[in-house]
């Protein structure tokens, strides 16, 4: 059986390195290319600490696709370049798995058009941790009975976008599932602007950025005489790898663009 050929965009980043290590451990897939602006010309395996692979890091995505002929591109870069990377990969008929967040609705619509025009599948996942997907699912169920809710998401201080894609997707799921609107709060006096967090269609979202954190989120529901908290913690970036590997194996099964890993988990 032929192995899935994987190109990793942003391979020198913390997530890119983890993806390279995870793919290298699997018998049914292989890293055939790595793209980054750092360590160009250095062997991928040596750069990420898994031994010599015989494939050097490149800075030009188009050239890397031409030389390596990948089946799948995994992108963990940043919101400023991810859409450009997708335009290149999709135009060259490469399926795409995207962990980079910060997509607008217009961005996703563009990816859908490109995907349909080129017959390429794309998975955009705000979070690849299976536990995080379950956290969002449980929160959506709770929202049917407890409409009053706030979200607190906590990430490392290198994360560029706020709130996180996971927090936004959680809020979207809650809005879709709850059967009644949240109660209207009393007139508030916000002594420091932003103290109550950002508001997304009536749901307050609070973003914390501190060194020492990885990715964490709690969804707090309140009702008469009770609260319910649903929380997930990624202690390290290895927590995302089972979801990434699952996505690589199943990317050819989806049709067009899938937003969220839960679409592959039969929840």
**Which residues carry out catalysis?**
155, 159
Do 251 and 241 meet the contact criterion of CB atoms below 8 Å apart?
no
Q: What is the CA radius of gyration of the chain?
A: 20
DSSP string, 204-243: EEEEEE-TT--EEEEEEEEETTEEEEEEEEE-SGGGGHHH
List the beta bridge partners of residue 153.
207, 217
List the beta bridge partners of residue 227.
222
Task: Give just the sign of the alpha carbon dihedral 31, 56, 98, 160.
Answer: positive
């Amino acid at each position: 059986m032929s192995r899935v050929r994987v190109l990793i965009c942003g391979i020198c980043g913390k997530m890119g390195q983890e993806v390279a290590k995870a793919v290298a451990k699997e018998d049914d897939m292989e890293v055939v290319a790595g793209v980054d602006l750092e360590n160009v010309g250095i062997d991928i395996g040596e750069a990420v600490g898994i031994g010599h692979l015989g494939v050097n890091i490149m800075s030009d995505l188009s050239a890397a696709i031409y030389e390596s002929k990948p089946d799948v591109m995994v992108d963990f870069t940043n919101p400023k370049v991810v859409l450009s990377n997708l335009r290149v990969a999709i135009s060259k008929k490469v399926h795409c798995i995207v962990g980079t967040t910060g997509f607008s609705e217009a961005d996703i619509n563009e990816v859908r058009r490109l995907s349909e025009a080129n017959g390429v599948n794309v998975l955009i996942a705000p979070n690849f941790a299976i536990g995080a997907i379950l956290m969002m699912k449980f929160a959506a169920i709770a929202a049917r009975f407890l409409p009053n809710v706030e979200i607190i998401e906590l990430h490392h201080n290198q994360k560029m976008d706020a709130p996180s894609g996971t927090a936004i997707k959680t809020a979207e799921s809650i809005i879709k599932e709850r059967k009644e609107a949240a109660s209207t709060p009393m007139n508030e006096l916000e002594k420091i602007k932003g103290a109550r967090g950002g508001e997304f269609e009536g749901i307050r979202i609070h973003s914390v950025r501190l060194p020492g954190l990885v990715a964490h989120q709690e969804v707090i529901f309140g009702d008469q005489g009770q609260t319910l908290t649903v929380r997930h913690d990624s202690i390290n970036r290895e927590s995302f790898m089972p979801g990434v590997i699952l996505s690589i194996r199943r990317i050819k099964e989806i049709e067009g663009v899938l937003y969220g890993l839960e679409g592959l988990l039969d929840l």
